[in-house]
Amino acid sequence: MFRLQDKDVLVIGLGLSGAAAARLLAARGARVTAMDNSDTPGLRHEAVELRDLGVRVELDLRLPPAGRFDFAVISPGVPMDSALVKELRQREIPIIGELELGWQQAVCLNISVTGTNGKTTTTELIEHLLTHCHKRTLAAGNIGKPVCSITEETRQLDYLTLEVSSFQLETIRFFRPAIAVLLNITPDHLDRHHSMADYARVKARLFENQQPFDWAIVQTEALAMLRTLGVNVPSKLITFSAHNRRADIHLDRSLLISRIEGWVGPLIDLEKTNLRGTHNAENVMAALAVGRVLRLPLEEMVAAIASFKPGAHRCEFVAEIKGIQFVNDSKATNLDAVAKAIQTMPAAQPGEPNVLLIAGGRDKGLDYHDLGPLLAQRVKHAVLLGETREKLRASWSLFTPCTLVDSLLEAVNEAVRIAAPGDIVLLSPACSSFDLFRDYRHRGEVFRQTVAQLQRTTNGAATADGPMNGGTVQSAGR
C-alpha cells in the first residue's frame, strides 16, 4: 500500500470518482486540494461536505491552482490533451487516475475487464459467478462504484472485480490485474483517442504491468490486433472467440466448447441461459475462463450463469403493444454494439426489414457509414435525434429511410406511426447520451417511461386508428 500521509495532492474533477478520491486521500492523511471547472448546486453541496473533511475546494476553475503538489489525481472525463493537463506536465506534477489511486490503497487481488462492448455485463457476470461459488467479491470501477470508495472493504474480499475503461487506463502507473480480460476492440471514443491504433494501445495497457504468473483472457480477434501493433502480453494466456474455432474456448451453435488441456469439451449450452447473441456468448466465455483460472467447479459455474439476468439498458425487452416490440438498448454507444443489437433482433419475414431504429446523441468520431449494409438488410426506418442526427442521416439515408426529430418522445411517436405488427422499435443510439440526457441510464429510463405511457394510452383507446389504435404519447404526460 502506498503511503499518503502528509502528501500534497490535487484532485481534478469532482464527479463520482473525483469526490471518492478526495475523501480517500483526506482519510489517509493527505493535504488535499480539489477543483472542478463547473459550479453547480450539486458541486457546491459536494464542496461543503469535502471542506468539512479538511479538503480545500475550488470551483469554476479552468487551470490548476498555484502551489506545490506531490501528484495529481485526474477524473476519467478530463482529456489528456487538455490545457489543464498540459500545465500539470509543464509543472512536472505526476498524474494518476482514480483507478490507480484506489488500486494502490486496496489490499486484495483484482480481476479487471475491459473492451469496447460487454464490459458491464461481463463484470456483473463474474461477480455473480464468484459470489455463487462462495468467493467474496465486489464489482467496482467504471461500472459506477469508484475503487476509492471501497478500499476499506477490500480487507474482507477474496477478489475485487473491476470494469475498466480506456479513459481510466490512460492514467495508470503501477496498476496490475491478477486476471486481465480483454473482450474486444472495435471503433469507439475516436474523438478522444484519435485513431484505432491509439485506442487499441490504450486498451492494451491493462496487461503492461502483469507478471508471467498472472493471467490474460483475450478475444482472439483483439489479440491479433494487438500483435499487429507489436504489443506483447507478458502473462499466461487463454483465448476465446465466437467466430474462431481455434480459440481455447469457442462457440459451436449454442454450445461453448473448450480446447483447454484438462478441460476439453462442451462447457455450457447458451439456450439454457438468459443470454443471447454471439456477443453474450463471448461474455460468458470470458467469465468461464476466469472461473477456470480460479479453479471453480464447472457445475457451479454453469448453475450461476443459468441464473444470471443481464442488467437494464442492454437489449432489454420493454413491452409488446399490438404486435410491436419495444427494446431498450440505450447502452449501445458505438457501431459494433448497435450492429450486435440489430443482429440479435428476431426477423418477422425473411428478407424484409422489421427494425425501427432510434439513434443519435453526441458524436464520438465514428465512421457511421460502416453500418450501412446491415441497415439495408434489417432496418425499416431510422429515427434520428440529438447533435449527431444530421451526420447520421448523411451516412445512412442511402441504406434506409431516415427521419429527424427533436426528442426521444417524438422519436417513439414517429416510430410507432411507421411500425406494423411484427416490427421492433429499437433504441440503440450509436452515440453518447450527454447532449440530451445525464447518461445512458437516464436515456433508457425516458424510453421506458415513454413506452409505458404509450401502453396505457393504447390500452385505453376506444377505437382503432392504424396499427397502434391511435396510441400516441402526449408530452404533457412525462
For residue 245, the SS3 value is coil
Q: Choose among 337, 389, 336: nearest CA to 359.
A: 389
User: Which class for 82: exposed (0-12), middle (13-18), buried (19 or more C-beta within 10 A)?
Assistant: middle
With H, G, I as helix, E, B as strand and everything else as coil, classify residue 263.
coil
Strand stretches in 379-449, DSSP E: 379-384, 402-404, 424-427
Write down the number of H helices and E strands in the chain: 16, 20
Please report the pLDDT score of residue 258 as a whole number: 98
Look up the CATH number of domain 102-307. Answer: 3.40.1190.10
Polymer length of the chain? 478
Quote the pLDDT of residue 452. 94
Cell 498524474, residue? 95
Name the nearest CA neighbour of 111 among 135, 92, 94.
Answer: 135
Note the pLDDT of residue 398.
Answer: 95
Predicted confidence at residue 314, as pLDDT, reads 83
Cβ contacts of 21 within 8 Å, gap of 6 or more: 11, 73, 98, 101, 102, 146, 148
Sort strands 249-252 and 255-258 into parallel, antiparallel or unpaired: antiparallel
Beta bridge partners of residue 324, listed in sequence order: 321
Nearest-angstrom CA–CA distance, 55 and 340? 46
Tell me the C-alpha distance between 360 and 103, whole Å: 36
Residue-by-residue pLDDT tens, the chain, 478 positions: 689 999 999 999 999 999 999 999 999 999 999 999 999 999 999 999 999 999 999 999 999 999 999 999 999 988 888 899 999 999 999 999 999 999 999 999 999 999 998 999 999 999 999 999 999 999 999 998 999 999 999 999 999 999 999 999 999 999 999 999 999 998 777 777 779 999 999 999 999 999 999 999 999 999 999 999 999 999 999 999 999 999 999 999 999 999 999 999 999 999 999 888 888 999 999 999 999 999 999 999 999 999 998 878 888 899 999 999 999 999 999 998 999 899 989 988 888 999 999 999 999 888 899 999 999 999 999 999 999 999 999 999 999 999 999 999 999 999 999 999 999 999 999 999 988 998 999 999 999 999 999 999 887 653 334 444 444 443 333 2
Q: Does domain 8-93 have CATH number 3.90.226.10?
A: no
Which residues are within 8 A (CB) of 224 and not within 5 positions of it... i.e. 6 or more apart?
none
Question: For position 474, what pLDDT does the model report?
Answer: 39
Each domain of the chain, given as residue ranges in start order, spans 8-93, 102-307, 316-460
Predicted pLDDT of residue 77: 85
Q: Is the pTM of this model over 0.85?
A: no
Q: Grid coordinates in use for 320?
A: 409488446
Q: Where are the alpha helices (DSSP H) in 366-407?
A: 372-378, 389-396
pLDDT value, residue 113 = 98
In this predicted structure, what is the pLDDT of residue 121?
Answer: 93
**Quick check: helix, strand or coil at residue 374?**
helix
Q: Please report, for residues 165, 333, 342, 444, 445, the alpha-carbon distance to residue 441 in angstroms, rounded to integers and kept in the order given.
A: 17, 12, 20, 5, 6
Residues β-bridged to residue 138? 160
HSE (side-chain half, CA atoms, 13 Å) at 390: 1
- pLDDT in the model for residue 276: 83
Q: What is the DSSP string of 266-306?
A: EEEEGGGSS--SHHHHHHHHHHHHHHHHTT--HHHHHHHHH
Of residues 158, 161, 163, 197, the one with CA closest to residue 182: 163
Burial tier of 387 (Cβ tally within 10 Å: 0-12, 13-18, 19+): middle
In whole angstroms, what is the distance from residue 469 CA to residue 457 CA?
Answer: 9
User: What grid cell was written down for 326?
Assistant: 419495444
Pick the CATH number of 316-460 from 3.90.190.20, 3.40.50.10860, 3.40.50.300, 3.30.930.10: 3.90.190.20
**Other CB atoms closer than 10 Å to residue 364's CB: what's the count?**
19
Task: Compute the Cα dihedral for 262, 303, 241, 191 and give only its sign.
Answer: negative
pLDDT of residue 351: 83
